[in-house]
Chain A
């Protein structure tokens, strides 16, 4: 990007305006205060296609009307829109008439009614006069193209926004236009469901009521709703959203474009998982374990007294198991409560953070502008921080070299290679052949983006060290994006350390009390094991789990849509959660304050973190632990059989499990198998195979991949339970 863009002056409907040369004409006109109607134009979908022709304008010196969306500002250009040019107005009427030739006039019972660009334009720029006493195109309507999305082809105006999203943004290549000319229509392959991480975005892209949400259809009318600006709390990206609420319930989630974070895209988890708030099995009142008779609902006061007593009397250390979904304020409060308790304390943190990474902090949008992106780790980026995958694709489309080092990467590395690869690239010499190209690319790059998608105890120390090296040697500007496992894992870690908490290196044998903070922790097998060892267990949870059944006191927890507070996303960006709806049970924050009070800790978890609180969070130096020197871990044990890689699917967890329409997005019981390994075993794609590792054996469907490294198999966590690191696969 050039430093100072040259300014040119353009006149739009007689108004002169100065804009940078090459600015799109739609934006230029807008800057001049003139709105040009568009349907197909949407800059986030790539170059303009000039298909709908709604933006026809007159340009001085050009005989024909021009599609304004395809023009860019040039010095002296004079544009006349429908507002001042009769010719342009006639052109616009013509386009509206053509569109309405086949568009049903069913606005009253259309979900888009009231927020439909076509409806607005027909009112404002019509008359799309009615000279068409002809049969309109007819289709079955609406047809579900997935459990989440319904398509009404009669309403489709073929602006190709949805298909361009599928082809050029998410690159899932599943939603396409088939046939030609007047026969063209939007479809999926053989009517299979549109199953992709980002499918829901087409709902917001569709300018008419052709694509509507099955979870929102007919739920509310635009004038009955309220939109609350907040942040998605389901992954470490932290997309900005509007929570549309109606009668105290979240009816839908729409995106609120933050150009540096997510460019307005949302994944389907963030968009559709909100229905779990209203799940019937949600814990609404405090529960107290009573001898033999299991649990009984008690008043908050009673529950808090019991909880406080349990913590006070716990002889032995207090351990807090975090979910990484707590706000910074919650984590801070829990830290202080733990510290106040007797007998030492420690925590189980889902994520940790190496302060050295702070030096390589950059907005996610910088990935798009990098010329080399290096992705390291065994965990698929799109499963852990989906939006990051979109930025990487944007970078590739922009000509960047995107190198992925992993079991199915462009460099097909063995599992666990991320750290050794960093070390090797730092050393620079004695590189294995497959890394030489990578090393060369990194040395020549001017702008480098490093993405770390690995669980490691050093909190990204390895990639931090590589970044140091590259910046020092190659004089490149380097950005590092280490992907935490959990939405606010980074903020929680910071708060805990700031609060003076220590991290459990070795967890104590004897545990006085265990505090389970939220459902993620409650579903973690390690926590279950701790619960078995703790004398007293206090759990905050939205839903029942094995861990809650082990607890002595269970306090109802809240979701990110029900809280005020601060999240720190993977960039280190502090974002504010706003309460969209009030929680079903007693307020979690009040409960925390009450607990603190009983333990003599002054807490105000509602307050936005005070200046000094923020400072304590501000890395790096206040961090309470030292940067570990990244030693490449010793490679995994070489045992016979295929090496199993587990991954945590995006569509998993307590929230997803409670939204019926999202079930189809969860990974099928499949095992991803390298083509070579399938051939040697005579296994065909989609064939059922038996997977065994000493003792346990299960049946899974084979998914054969030509990208996966030979000798490696990949299975989603939830289908890999009981399997060890090496497995046998047979027909």
Chain B
């Protein structure tokens, strides 16, 4: 079994939400070590570890941190922001980390804050995560009392104020610049880049933004030393990742694996395979925004390069298993509906394009589409791709285009047979996007309110 627990080690045996327990297994030793080091020395460890972001983009953390100006060189304060907005469909690993090893996350936040010379850290926590909020704030309180957080950390003379900011239900706020606008009290809409947050982020000040899992990894990096950490995993994909396994699989859940482990190991050996003796049809390897893999690509290793070669992405590590009961047009429709619902509405191609995709897919599913329309759909995706203000538009266009590419005959049959070949038996049948709370929208369709 390729389970390799680094972060989640001891989490089954002990209640690591309690400071005493966490310290009993060496918790906060890395922080003690760090505040005794030069800030640059800590940064060097992160660079050596070659740890890539766990939030989706996979950008090397050390590199990003090194883009920030030195505290002395900027008139503005420096901020750290932890991205805990986890909302990518199929992804629920950050939640696991905050519920089970909150102190490791907090320790990572404080070390990262020290590294960049921040005096303020914000944790942007997904609004729906209520229990997580309680566990996290309790852990922070314990840490504060123990002088591990707050003014004058461990008597080092350096202090870090940590504020938990709760979101309110908007997937786009996971996108780093939208997150910043939301944190500044605005509608969470992305900003143009440049300037990048490292130069001008929160309140137009230098800001480092990292994902929960990325930050929770930091204490382990200091514990092992960057060089040794880099040995874990495979080239360009150092270390372990907590993968979220869901969909048509026997044992769904979060599993921490060394990168390079194959999908087969995760889905079949660890996840127990497909239930009810069904056939594997497709796998979404990195959250619903990435291109799909077909059953025969199940041996693809879970690392950045291998996924890139297979034409998809490791993304947020949300592995969604799809069996042969699923209609791929319905899948496309449901995914498109999600991104349409979450589009922030700022840029034209995403706002209008995702809505058009939903209209086209609905027509195909309902058997109303005429022959040319499959290509109109592909062309619409193509016209969104790369033309939007932020990657959300791509997140809708890429997967849908891949469904058509890999299951074209299934799409074609909808048009030829004037309806869904599954005849109501698909596992996704009748599933539609949420009713829009704000205007009592009819399920799945857009009916815009009259606002006279």
Contact = CB atoms under 8 A, between A and B. Distances in A.
A181 B187 CA distance: 11
Interface string B368-400: 000000001000000100111100000000000
B163 interface: no
B289 interface: no
11 contacts: A49-B346, A51-B347, A51-B389, A53-B387, A65-B386, A131-B376, A134-B359, A137-B448, A139-B448, A143-B452, A158-B348
A281 B181 CA distance: 53
Given A99-B352, A180-B343, A183-B436, 16 more contacts: A53-B348, A94-B387, A95-B349, A95-B387, A98-B349, A138-B450, A140-B452, A153-B451, A160-B346, A179-B438, A180-B342, A181-B343, A181-B355, A182-B354, A183-B438, A191-B452
Q: Which of B187, B191, B346, B439 has the most CB of A within 10 A?
A: B346
B356 A98 contact: yes
A181 B438 CA distance: 12
Contacts of A183: 345, 436, 438-439, 441, 446, 448-449
Interface in A40-57: 48-54, 56
Q: Is the interface of B mostly helix, strand, loop or mixed?
A: loop
Interface string A176-216: 01011111110100010000000000000000000000000
A17 interface: no
Interface residues of B, number: 37
Contacts, number: 120
A407 B43 CA distance: 53
Interface string A43-80: 00000111111101000000111010010000000000
Contacts of B343: 180-182
Contacts of A56: 387
B451 A181 contact: no
B340 interface: yes
A94 B383 contact: yes
Interface of A: 48-54, 56, 63-65, 67, 70, 90-91, 94-95, 97-99, 101-102, 131-132, 134-135, 137-140, 143, 153, 157-158, 160, 177, 179-185, 187, 191
Interface of B: 170, 187, 191-192, 340-349, 351-356, 359, 376, 383, 386-389, 436, 438-439, 441, 446, 448-452
B348 A99 contact: yes
A91 B446 contact: no
A64 B394 CA distance: 12
Given A51-B389, A65-B386, A185 B351 contact: no
A134 B356 contact: yes
Given A99-B352, A181-B345, A191 B451 contact: yes
Contacts of B355: 101, 181-182
Given A64-B386, A94-B383, A132-B356, A53 B345 contact: no
Contact of B451 (A53, A135, A139): A139
Contacts of A51: 346-348, 389
B448 A53 contact: no
Contacts of B383: 90-91, 94, 97-98
Given A137-B448, A181-B354, A65 B340 contact: no
A140 B451 CA distance: 7
Contacts of A187: 451
B341 A181 contact: yes
Contacts of B441: 183
Contacts of B387: 53, 56, 64-65, 91, 94-95
B74 to A, nearest CB: 15
A177 B340 contact: no
A101 B352 contact: yes
B401 to A, nearest CB: 15
B179 to A, nearest CB: 15
Contacts of B192: 48-50, 67, 70
A624 to B, nearest CB: 52
Contacts of A132: 356
A67 B450 CA distance: 32
Q: Which of B348, B355, B359 has the most CB of A within 10 A?
A: B348
